[in-house]
């Protein structure tokens, strides 16, 4: 082990110790997350300045940091399925009303789909404003390899249709889906949990003793799972720090500058779409400024981790503990939002990519004949996009193949993919929280005392486990 690596790890350990001391001193969760994020940016920039993005020292340091960063994401993924199952079953046992369940589903999915269409329109507008085009761009060896990889994945994307996608939501083997084996496993587990909950409520009057026993079991399981969530969320500042250090230290400034137009257009579109989310929140009568302050930690995690699915536990905690959304609605929104209607990955990105690539085959992307089919394909194709790293690529493949555009050209963006994906993932999670908040308000179930509370309930505290 070389001296620079030892020094790098020593600095990282010192930062982790400082974050731990902040926790011991009861510094707020939001400030600890922000501190981890800021220090990660600074340390990552320092590593790149000292060694270079392609340095073996940086690569080895990142490998050790992945124990903290990627390990944290894996822990979150570990508790996703148990959290979804017990929370949704518990919510249904409380509701005992299929009509309410239907309203929650329609409102949540409706907002996700509509906002994805709006996101696509914004992506098209930004592509026009920034005059994006793939015409004349040259490919490096890495970009060519990426293009060939995407070309190989094309048959999988072409095989997908709306009927097959809907069928994939149905869990033929729920135990397989509990392992997250399929792209639509999250939704499949949601549906299985609904079946269990509805079946249990069906015996409430016929066999009240058995129902009471099952209800008690679910309550115990729920408390234990929420305790697990709390324990994992306490690691959030450390995970955010490690993930951000990795991303910044390994990013190529040269490649980013080469495609700065696409970066600028992407983040302009993401910012505008986030404003749309805030407009929806304001329309429900909630204070957008207070809302942003309350959801910042989960957006920061989504930004650094690039995993919409991994953000589900923190999203649920944020919605219930800070926004006053009932747990059932929060779980529906977080679960569906990780797979359906991702505004960033399935809305903005494929729209911009299609507009950018269309001129290479002589198509004017700013005609009604091109835009209307594009919006329809993006909205329908956004159903079932996996909420993990790579979901945007799959969404792009579906859209480009359906529009008969060359998919290999998407490989030109490989060098800036991580940078763009960070913002896309944060917008995905923002969209799911917006859907949950909207549904909760429309159904009159938001606890305004929780939302209006000035002091922040810590997401990693015991207050949310009771």
| Nearest-angstrom CA–CA distance, 281 and 278 | 5
User: What pLDDT sits at residue 2?
Assistant: 83
Q: Count the domains in the chain.
A: 1
For the chain, how many helices (H) and strands (E)? 20, 0
Nearest 5°: the CA angle 22, 317, 120 is: 110
What's the mean pLDDT when you consider all of the chain? Answer: 84
User: What pLDDT sits at residue 143?
Assistant: 47
| Nearest-angstrom CA–CA distance, 208 and 204 | 5
- Find the mean pLDDT for residues 41-49: 91
Cα 342 from chain centre: 8
150: pLDDT strictly greater than 90: no
| C-alpha distances out from residue 169 to 155, 277, 313, 395, 432, Å | 20, 27, 21, 17, 18
Nearest 5°: the CA angle 426, 397, 73 is: 35
In 246-377, at which residue ranges do the beta strands (DSSP E only) sit? none
Range scoring the smallest mean pLDDT among 101-105, 126-130, 212-216, 268-272: 101-105
Pick the more confident residue, 159 or 208.
Answer: 208
Range scoring the smallest mean pLDDT among 41-55, 104-118, 207-221, 244-258: 244-258
Please report which helix (H) or strand (E) contains residue 51, including its range.
helix 29-51
User: What pLDDT sits at residue 385?
Assistant: 64
pLDDT classification of 178: cutoffs 50, 70, 90:
confident
Q: Which residues contact 118 (CB under 8 A, 6 or more apart)?
A: 273, 276, 343, 347
Work out the percent of the chain whose per-residue pLDDT is above 90.
39
Please report which helix (H) or strand (E) contains residue 206, including its range.
none
Pick the more confident residue, 179 or 100.
Answer: 179
154: pLDDT strictly greater than 70: no
- Find the mean pLDDT for residues 8-25: 94
CA 63, 67, 68, 70 torsion: positive or negative? positive
CATH code of the domain containing 192: 1.10.3860.10
pLDDT classification of 100: cutoffs 50, 70, 90:
confident
User: What pLDDT sits at residue 272?
Assistant: 97
Q: Which stretch, 146-160, 229-243, 448-462, has highest mean pLDDT?
A: 229-243
Pick the more confident residue, 118 or 379.
Answer: 118
Domain range enclosing 23: 3-464
């Amino acid at each position: 082990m070389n001296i620079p690596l030892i020094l790098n790890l020593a600095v990282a350990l010192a930062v982790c110790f400082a974050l731990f001391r902040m926790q011991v001193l009861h510094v707020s969760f939001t400030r600890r997350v922000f501190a981890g994020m800021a220090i990660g940016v600074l340390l990552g920039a320092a590593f790149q300045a000292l060694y270079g993005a392609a340095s073996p020292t940086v690569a080895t340091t990142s490998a050790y940091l992945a124990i903290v960063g990627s390990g944290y994401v894996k822990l979150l993924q570990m508790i996703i399925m148990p959290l979804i199952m017990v929370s949704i079953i518990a919510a249904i046992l409380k509701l005992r009303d299929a009509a309410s369940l239907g309203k929650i589903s329609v409102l949540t999915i409706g907002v996700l789909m509509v906002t994805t269409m709006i996101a696509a329109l914004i992506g098209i507008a930004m592509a026009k404003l920034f005059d994006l085009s793939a015409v004349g761009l040259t490919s490096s060896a890495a970009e060519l390899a990426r293009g060939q990889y995407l070309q190989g994945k094309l048959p999988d994307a072409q095989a997908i249709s709306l009927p097959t996608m809907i069928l994939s939501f149905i869990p033929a083997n729920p135990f397989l889906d509990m392992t997250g084996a399929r792209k639509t496993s999250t939704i499949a587990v949601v549906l299985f949990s609904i079946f269990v909950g509805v079946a249990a409520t069906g015996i409430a009057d016929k066999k009240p003793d058995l129902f009471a026993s099952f209800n008690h079991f679910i309550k115990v399981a729920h408390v234990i799972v929420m305790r697990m969530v709390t324990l994992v969320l306490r690691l959030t500042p450390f995970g955010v720090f490690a993930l951000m250090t990795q991303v910044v230290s390994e990013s190529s400034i040269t490649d980013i500058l080469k495609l700065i137009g696409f970066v600028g257009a992407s983040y302009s579109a993401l910012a505008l779409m986030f404003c749309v989310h805030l407009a929806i929140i304001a329309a429900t009568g909630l204070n957008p400024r207070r809302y942003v302050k309350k959801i910042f930690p989960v957006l920061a995690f989504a930004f650094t981790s690039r995993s919409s699915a991994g953000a589900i536990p923190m999203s649920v905690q944020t919605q219930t503990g800070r926004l006053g959304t009932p747990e059932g609605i929060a779980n529906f929104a977080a679960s569906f939002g990780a797979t359906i209607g991702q505004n960033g990955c399935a809305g903005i990105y494929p729209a911009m990519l299609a507009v950018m690539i269309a001129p290479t085959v002589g198509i004017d992307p700013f005609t009604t004949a091109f835009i209307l089919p594009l919006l329809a394909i993006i909205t329908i194709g956004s159903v079932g996009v996996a909420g993990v790293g790579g979901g945007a690529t799959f969404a792009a493949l579906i859209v480009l193949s359906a529009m008969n555009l060359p998919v290999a050209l998407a490989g030109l963006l490989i060098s800036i993919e991580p940078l763009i994906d960070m913002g896309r993932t944060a917008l995905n999670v923002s969209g799911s929280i917006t859907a949950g908040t909207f549904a909760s308000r429309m159904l009159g179930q938001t606890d305004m005392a929780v939302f209006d509370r000035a002091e922040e309930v810590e997401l990693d505290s015991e207050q949310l486990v009771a």
